[in-house]
């Protein structure tokens, strides 16, 4: 048995296949030597050859991805899908290092399958493995995508959702309220004299104040309420199903909770309070208009001396 035949017997495709059939395959096929970075198969091209990797390694690169989908070494095969279904190649196959491959054309492959149940069984096993690997890769990619999407919509300091998430989630809730003609209110909450906190006690104290206020607000809301850091020292709360009177009561309760739980531990100069503006849905107005009206109410609360609520 020569080195080429020995390489074929180590391949997954020829496990358990009679030696005579393997020898006949070698006699009717051609080998190809690939230099590093040489392309064996190109995405979008036609293909009627299954390639067995006898030595070296190739990488499969899916279009649009910046890293290999899979790397295949000696004993593996490539090109089987496009050969079997007669469709274009779906990915680039590139040599990672000096690589030797054996090409088996479509006619030879079907002849092998007709001649040996082991070849057919091995090929089914290879295809099943590819499908399973692709499923796992897709799940990993989906999980990674969800992870990065979550990172993109979460405020790193407070752990609350951020303005990017707010624009989408609040908008969808408002559209639902308009569609079902249900009440909905929005609170704009601002930490009073926050610049003074930073200037007097430092940004570390300011960050602590933001975190404590965020936690206090989150603890005081219903499960269906939506809370986000609007930006800087401002927070926004969406209250589905609440009319102006009920929303004002929630706003006042939150204001009192912050005053009680975010005090300065006896040092009145570092006590934290908030001002709250309340806006409620009016007709089919867009989210931007609702935010603007709640922000106007917040401005009135600050003008009234801060640490109060206005609607």
pLDDT in tens, 261-300: 876 444 444 689 999 999 999 988 999 999 999 999 999 9
User: Band of the pLDDT at 64, cuts 50, 70, 90?
Assistant: confident
pLDDT at residue 3 tops 70 = no
Mean pLDDT, residues 41-57: 92
Q: Residue 211 and residue 215: Cα distance in Å, rounded?
A: 6
What are the angstrom distances between the C-alpha of 36 and each of 33, 39, 56, 98? Answer: 10, 9, 10, 5
Q: How confident is the model at residue 227 (pLDDT cuts 50, 70, 90)?
A: very high
Diameter of the chain measured on Cα atoms:
96
CA atoms of 31 and 103, how far apart (whole Å): 6
DSSP assignment of 127-180 equals HHHHHHHHHHHHHHHHHHHHHHHHHHHB-TTT-SB-HHHHHHHHHHHHHHHHHH
- Note the pTM of the prediction, 2 decimals: 0.56
Q: Region 84-109: what's the mean pLDDT?
A: 91
pLDDT in tens, 133-173: 666 656 655 665 665 566 578 888 999 999 989 999 999 99
Averaged pLDDT score across all residues of the chain: 87
C-alpha distance from residue 194 to each of 206, 209, 274 (Å):
7, 9, 10
Q: Which of 76-80, 128-132, 228-232 is least confident?
A: 128-132
Instruction: Assign 3-class secondary structure to 233-262.
Output: CEEEEEEECCCHHHHHHHHHHHHHHHHHHC
pLDDT value at 89 more than 70: yes
Spatial separation of the C-alpha atoms in residues 287 and 171, rounded to whole Å: 6
**Portion of the chain with pLDDT greater than 90, in percent:** 53
pLDDT of residue 51: 93
Q: From CA 280, how far away is CA 282, in angstroms rounded?
A: 6
What's the average model confidence in pLDDT over 220-227? 92
Q: Is the dihedral of CA 6, 11, 15, 18 positive or negative?
A: negative
- The pLDDT, as a whole number, for residue 125 is 86
**If you ran DSSP here, which 8-state letter would residue 221 be given?**
S
- Residue 182: which residues within 8 A CB-CB, separation 6 or more? 176, 240, 241
Angle ∠(105,108,111) on CA atoms, nearest 5? 150
Percentage with pLDDT > 70 across the chain: 89
Question: Of 23 and 116, which is predicted with more confidence?
Answer: 116
Highest mean pLDDT among 110-119, 138-147, 193-202, 295-304: 295-304
What is residue 267's predicted lDDT score, i.e. its pLDDT?
A: 47
Q: Any idea which residues carry the catalytic annotation?
A: 233
Neighbours of 175 (CB within 10 A): 13
Comparing 141-150, 185-194, 234-243, 282-291, which segment has the lowest mean pLDDT?
A: 141-150
Distance CA 172, CA 190 (A): 24
Instruction: Give CA–CA dist 227/218, Å, rounded.
Output: 7
What is the pairing mode between strands 30-34 and 99-105? antiparallel
pLDDT of residue 27: 78
Residue 268 has what pLDDT?
Answer: 46
């Amino acid at each position: 048995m020569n080195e080429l035949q020995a390489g074929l017997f180590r391949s997954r495709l020829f496990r358990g296949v009679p030696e005579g059939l393997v020898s006949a395959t070698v006699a009717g096929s051609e080998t190809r030597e690939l230099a590093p970075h040489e392309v064996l198969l190109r995405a979008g091209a036609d293909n009627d050859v299954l390639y067995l990797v006898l030595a070296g390694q190739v990488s499969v690169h899916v279009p649009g991805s910046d890293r290999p989908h899979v790397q295949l070494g000696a004993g593996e095969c490539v090109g089987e899908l496009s050969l079997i279904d007669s469709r274009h190649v779906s990915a680039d196959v590139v040599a990672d290092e000096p690589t030797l491959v054996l090409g088996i054309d479509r006619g030879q492959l079907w002849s092998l399958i007709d001649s040996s149940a082991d070849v057919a069984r091995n090929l089914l096993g290879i295809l099943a493995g590819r499908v399973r690997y692709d499923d796992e890769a897709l799940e990993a990619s989906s999980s990674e995508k969800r992870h990065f999407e979550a990172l993109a919509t979460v405020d790193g300091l407070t752990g609350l959702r951020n303005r990017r998430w707010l624009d989408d989630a609040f908008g969808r809730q408002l559209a639902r309220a308009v569609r079902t003609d249900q009440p909905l209110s929005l609170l704009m909450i601002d930490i009073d004299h926050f610049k003074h906190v930073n200037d007097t006690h430092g940004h570390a104290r300011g960050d602590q104040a933001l975190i404590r206020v965020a936690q206090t607000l989150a603890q005081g809301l219903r499960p269906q309420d939506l809370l986000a850091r609007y930006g800087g020292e401002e927070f926004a709360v969406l209250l589905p199903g609440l009319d102006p009177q009920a929303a004002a009561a929630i706003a006042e309760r939150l204001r009192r909770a912050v005053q009680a739980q975010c005090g300065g531990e006896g040092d009145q100069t570092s006590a934290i309070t908030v001002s709250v503006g309340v806006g409620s849905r009016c007709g089919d107005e867009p989210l931007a208009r609702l935010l603007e009206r709640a922000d106007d109410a917040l401005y009135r609360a600050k003008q009234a001396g801060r640490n109060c609520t206005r609607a």
